[in-house]
Amino acid sequence: MTREEIVSSILTECRSWIGTPYIHQASLKGVGADCLGLVRGVWRHLYGVEPEAVPAYSPDWGEACDNETILNAANRNFVKVFEDPMPADLLVFRWREGAIAKHVGILLDHKNFIHAYEGAGVVEASLGSHWKKRIVGIYRFPILPLKKECK
């Protein structure tokens, strides 16, 4: 698949999750997902299996601790981007200074992204300055053998 086809597949899949209720640590389209569950579901759609086991985590976006679990996993499994984000890129957010990065979303276009949060579920939202100032990582889904190409 070309990069353009992968981007199209990511955007189509993440849009299909809109309306999925919020359930902490869940990742089942139409049933329940949190922000990471949305990304896990898109990954499974592309590649068939998740890249690694997900440890238990709290839903607290402002959690302060030393372990940057989400950033570390993104660095292991995605391609770090050092330029402006493009559609289908993974955005990693830090809610406040002193907290670990604890929220993720997928960019739809230069103005909107899809993410999930308590009280709303999976939604499309504006990527305004409120969100942009919290971005601490931009990542691209890697070009790996896609699910339908696996034997």
What would the two tokens of residue 5 be?
């086809």
Residue 60's pLDDT is 74
Q: In the chain, where does DSSP find H-type helix? A: 3-16, 35-47, 69-77, 129-132
User: Reduced to 3 states, what is the DSSP secondary structure of residue 113?
Assistant: strand
Residue 151's pLDDT is 45
Along the 151 residues of the chain, how does pLDDT read in single tens digits? 788 999 999 999 999 999 999 999 999 999 999 999 999 999 999 999 998 999 888 887 677 787 899 999 999 999 999 999 999 999 999 998 889 999 999 999 999 999 999 999 999 999 999 999 999 999 999 987 766 554 4
Cβ-based neighbour number of residue 116 at 10 Å:
28
Query: Cβ neighbours of residue 105 under 8 Å, at least 6 residues apart?
Result: 35, 38, 90, 91, 93, 113, 114, 115, 125
Determine the structural domain holding residue 38 and report its residue range. Answer: 3-149
Residue 12's φ and ψ, nearest 5 degrees, are -65, -45
Total domains present in the chain:
1
Can you give the CATH number for the domain in which 88 is found? 3.90.1720.10
**Site of tokens 């499994």:** 77
Residue 150's pLDDT is 44
